[in-house]
């Protein structure tokens, strides 16, 4: 098994994903939120980059729910923002979610071209690692970053997942991610650039929830050909 971690969104374009399993991570908060929404009973999610695209999908199919944020705040008129706590403990009877978030959605779009696309978060780290252990190939992890920049918490999560795998060949970014996970305590992640922003918005409960490790058995896969993602059954 070989693995690389693309440390910065601006670098996605320079890496080949062909034949690889791509793992998209947006701990604060997109991949955590999608996992939680699906575990609460929603059937599928559809990430879009632009708000206009979400509205167009809603017009075509009024039953879809819209979720998304800009600058960490709920988009006006949308059904949901980007908080996992909007979904946690709920019990939906199916339904589809169209999502647009600043960082996570774009990272998913960047993963097109990979053999398959997995969404990961701290809560699903072990579930994702178990899935990756069964695939013997190449893994490329895409931390979603924050506003186009390196994100400490997403890269730390990449390191955590790598620590659970038996990788023979680590790229320079993967080595860096592993070191971050080894040397930085989880409690420090709330002090990352993104963590501080969410703290300033009073989203302490979201941060705490997103930082729980291995709390969920759910594995989220995204199908780049249909554009829809769902829990693996």
Supply the DSSP symbol for 29. T
Q: For residue 103, state whether it binds a second copy (rule: CB under 8 A).
A: no
Query: Sheet containing 65-70: which strands, arranged edge to edge?
Result: 73-74, 65-70, 96-100, 44-47, 229-231, 220-222, 116-120, 21-25, 138-143, 2-5, 169-170
CB of 160 to a second copy, least distance (A): 15
Q: Strands 21-25, 138-143: parallel, antiparallel or unpaired by DSSP? A: parallel
Contact segment (CB under 8 A) with a second copy among 35-43, 57-65, 93-101, 168-176 equals: 168-176
Residue 14 lies near a second copy (rule: CB under 8 A): yes
Q: Which is nearer to a second copy, 110 or 127 (CB)?
A: 110
CB atoms near residue 92 (< 10 Å): 15
Binding residues for a second copy, rule CB under 8 A, total 28
155 binds a second copy (CB under 8 A): yes
d(CA 188, CA 207): 12
Determine which residue in the list 9, 84, 104, 218 makes contact with a second copy, applying CB under 8 A: 9
**Element of type H or E holding 58:** helix 51-60
Specify the DSSP class assigned to residue 75: P
Q: Does 192 bind a second copy (CB under 8 A)?
A: yes
Selected binder of a second copy within 149, 208, 223, 232 (CB under 8 A):
149
Contacts of 98 (CB under 8 A, 6+ apart): 45, 46, 48, 54, 57, 58, 64, 65, 66, 67
Type and span of the H or E element at 53: helix 51-60
**Cβ-based nearer residue to a second copy, 127 or 211:** 211
Candidate list 3, 7, 23, 34; residue touching a second copy; CB under 8 A: 7
Of the residues 109, 176, 199, 224, which one makes contact with a second copy according to CB under 8 A: 176
CB of 191 to a second copy, least distance (A): 9
Candidate list 56, 73, 179, 201; residue touching a second copy; CB under 8 A: 179
Binding range to a second copy, per CB under 8 A, among 34-42, 55-63, 76-84, 165-173: 165-173
Q: List the structure tokens of 58.
A: 């809603």
Query: From the CB of 104, what's the least distance to a second copy, in Å?
Result: 17
d(CA 36, CA 123): 9
Minimum Å gap between C-beta 151 and a second copy is 7
**Chain contacts with a second copy (rule: CB under 8 A):** 7-15, 147-152, 155, 171-173, 175-176, 179-180, 182-184, 192-193
């Amino acid at each position: 098994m070989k693995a690389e971690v693309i440390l910065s969104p601006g670098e996605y374009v320079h890496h080949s994903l062909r034949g690889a399993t791509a793992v998209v991570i947006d701990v604060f908060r997109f991949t955590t939120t999608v996992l939680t929404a699906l575990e609460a009973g929603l059937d599928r999610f559809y990430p879009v980059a632009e708000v206009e695209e979400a509205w167009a999908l809603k017009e075509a199919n009024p039953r879809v729910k819209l979720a998304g944020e800009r600058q960490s705040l709920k988009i006006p008129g949308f059904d949901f923002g980007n908080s996992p706590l909007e979904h946690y403990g709920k019990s939906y009877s199916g339904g589809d979610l169209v999502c647009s978030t600043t960082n996570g959605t774009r990272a998913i779009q960047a993963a097109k071209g990979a053999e398959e696309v997995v969404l990961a978060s701290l809560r699903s780290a072990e579930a994702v690692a178990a899935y990756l252990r069964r695939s013997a190939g190449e893994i490329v992890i895409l931390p979603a970053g924050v506003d186009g920049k390196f994100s400490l918490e997403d890269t730390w999560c990449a390191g955590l997942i790598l620590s659970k795998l038996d990788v023979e060949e680590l790229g320079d970014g993967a080595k860096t991610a592993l070191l971050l996970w080894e040397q930085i305590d989880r409690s420090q992640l709330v002090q990352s650039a993104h963590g501080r922003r969410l703290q300033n918005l009073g989203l302490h409960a979201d941060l705490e929830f997103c930082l729980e490790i291995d709390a969920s058995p759910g594995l989220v896969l995204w199908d780049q050909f249909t554009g829809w993602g769902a829990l693996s059954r």
